[in-house]
């Protein structure tokens, strides 16, 4: 079994609003999980998480501050961010 792994998760825009927090730290066996796996695993944490993660197609992610698809393995990353598609400019 791989060692536990602390992962900082940051939420932005309506994802943060639905969850009711902007960040949290989770501890678990995430190395071999994809971001999508983690979201479905984590959706049961609260009704807010369930609401925020209900439609993964509307979510985007960054691992260690780089945009990645949701099917990316978490691997050794220490920072995950989950957010809607960006709308700057």
Quick one: 3 exposed, middle or buried, by C-beta within 10 A (0-12, 13-18, 19+)? Answer: exposed
Task: Based on the shown chain and the rule CB under 8 A, indicate whether residue 54 belongs to the binding site for another protein.
Answer: no
CA angle 10, 14, 20 (to 5 degrees): 65
CB of 60 to another protein, least distance (A): 9
Q: Which is nearer to another protein, 4 or 86 (CB)?
A: 86
Mapped onto helix, strand or coil, the DSSP state of residue 30 is: coil
Q: Which residues contact 73 (CB under 8 A, 6 or more apart)?
A: 31, 32, 33, 34
Among 7, 52, 59, 62, binds another protein (CB under 8 A): 62
Q: Which is nearer to another protein, 2 or 55 (CB)?
A: 55
Task: Based on the shown chain and the rule CB under 8 A, indicate whether residue 57 belongs to the binding site for another protein.
Answer: no
Residues at the contact surface with another protein, assessed by CB under 8 A: 10, 12-14, 62, 65-67, 81, 83-89
């Amino acid at each position: 079994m791989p060692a536990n792994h602390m992962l900082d998760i940051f939420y932005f825009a309506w994802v943060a609003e639905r969850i009711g927090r902007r960040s949290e730290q989770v501890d678990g066996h995430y190395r071999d999980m994809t971001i999508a796996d983690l979201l479905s695993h984590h959706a049961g944490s609260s009704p807010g998480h369930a609401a925020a993660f209900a439609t993964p197609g509307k979510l985007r992610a960054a691992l260690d501050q780089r945009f990645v698809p949701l099917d990316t393995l978490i691997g050794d990353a220490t920072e995950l961010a989950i957010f809607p598609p960006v709308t700057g400019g």
